[in-house]
Amino acid sequence: MIEVNDLRKSFGAVQAVDGVSFAAGDGRITGLLGPNGAGKSTTLRILYTVLKPDSGSATIDGIDVVDDSLKARAAIGTLPHGSGLYPHLTARENIRYYARLYGVAEDSIEERIESLIDELDLRDFADRRTRGFSQGQQTKVALARALVHGPQNVVLDEPSNGLDVMATRSLRDLVRTLKNAGRCVLFSSHVMQEVAALCDEIVIIAGGKVALHDSPDGIRNATGCDDLEDAFVSAISSKDER
Ligand SMILES: Nc1ncnc2c1ncn2[C@@H]1O[C@H](COP(=O)(O)OP(=O)(O)OP(=O)(O)O)[C@@H](O)[C@H]1O
């Protein structure tokens, strides 16, 4: 479970995150939805401990991301913006490197990698160096790397970026499998249809603040819009008017 409480972060004069609070539960898919520059990535980067908040707190299964960042990091699998793969290593070697970093038992690493290669359809390029990989290939390898230690919490920053239709479908299946296994999945997107297709709960964020947090049906009711895209626009506009 991920809990975020009154989180704030600024970069100079830009207030990127301005009092964000929400909880993302186990066995649920929570979508962080917002327009460009809304503060989604900054919020997620605080969760996976690469940024420190100015104030507020965030916990992963009760572990504070600032006070106990190493333990918090071990409890989440993350797909950051930009894959950050090692270009001179093959896809398989990249995944193996992270498995070791996360302390996966040596005798189960190869089996785990094989099953991720199948699940994410990496077989064709598993043993190629990742330098020059297409965006979609990079995302798939980065996803495998994020999941290799079987984390309870999975945080994905715009995971469908660069994926083709088939890969997007596999990603959705994978996210649903994680949910059905009782994992907490939190992902960011600015694509309403993607979030609507997957999420149990949607946190709409705009200008660094939470504009609305509800189920897709709850959001339709709150905004009076049947179409979730209209509901999204309505939620963001009414936040601007406040
Ligand atoms: N390292 C940084 N230095 C300066 N400004 C930053 C930095 N990181 C983020 N920002 C600013 O903070 C705001 C929120 O950015 P963030 O990346 O969190 O938005 P986002 O919702 O993820 O957007 P997108 O959908 O475009 O990826 C933006 O105005 C951005 O320019």
Instruction: Specify the pLDDT at position 23.
Output: 97
The total of other beta-carbon atoms located within 10 Å of residue 57's CB is: 16
The total of other beta-carbon atoms located within 10 Å of residue 178's CB is: 22
What's the rounded mean pLDDT across residues 92-109? 94
User: Is the distance from the beta carbon of residue 38 to the nearest atom of ligand 1 less than 6 Å?
Assistant: yes
pLDDT over 90 (residue 236): no
Query: From the alpha carbon of 41, which atom of ligand 1 is closest?
Result: 22
Query: From the alpha carbon of 43, which atom of ligand 1 is closest?
Result: 18
Residues in the chain: 242
Q: Tell how far the Cα of 225 is from the centroid of ligand 1, in angstroms.
A: 29
Instruction: Specify the pLDDT at position 240.
Output: 57
User: Is the distance from the beta carbon of residue 130 to the nearest atom of ligand 1 less than 6 Å?
Assistant: no
Residue 119 binned pLDDT confidence (cut-offs 50, 70, 90): confident
User: Is the distance from the beta carbon of residue 16 to the nearest atom of ligand 1 less than 6 Å?
Assistant: yes
Question: Which residue has the CA at smallest separation from atom 4 of ligand 1?
Answer: 11
Question: Which residue has the CA at smallest separation from atom 25 of ligand 1?
Answer: 36
Q: Residue 85: CA atoms inside 13 Å, Cβ hemisphere, count?
A: 30
Domain boundaries, the chain: 2-81+152-241
Q: Mind giving me the DSSP string for 66-134?
A: TTTHHHHHHTEEEE-SS----TTSBHHHHHHHHHHHTT--HHHHHHHHHHHHHHTT-GGGTTSBSTT--
Q: Residue 203 belongs to what H/E stretch?
A: strand 201-206
User: Is the distance from the beta carbon of residue 190 to the nearest atom of ligand 1 less than 6 Å?
Assistant: yes
Residue 235 binned pLDDT confidence (cut-offs 50, 70, 90): confident
**CA–CA dist 26, 182 (Å, integer):** 6
Q: Tell how far the Cα of 19 is from the centroid of ligand 1, in angstroms.
A: 15
Provide CB contacts within 8 A for 160, sequence distance 6+: 139, 167, 168, 171, 189, 191, 194
Quickly name the fold that domain 2-81+152-241 has: Rossmann fold (3.40.50)
Q: Tell how far the Cα of 31 is from the centroid of ligand 1, in angstroms.
A: 18
Report DSSP state, residue 168.
H
Longest CA–CA span in the chain (Å) reads 57
Q: How much of the chain exceeds pLDDT 90, in percent?
A: 63
Query: Please, what is the average pLDDT of the chain?
Result: 90
Tokens of residue 219, six digits: 């959001």
Question: Which residue has the CA at smallest separation from atom 13 of ligand 1?
Answer: 16
Q: Could you tell me which residues are beta bridge partners of residue 29?
A: 185
156-199 pLDDT, tens digit per residue, is 988 887 778 887 887 888 899 899 999 999 999 877 777 888 89
Instruction: Specify the pLDDT at position 1.
Output: 97
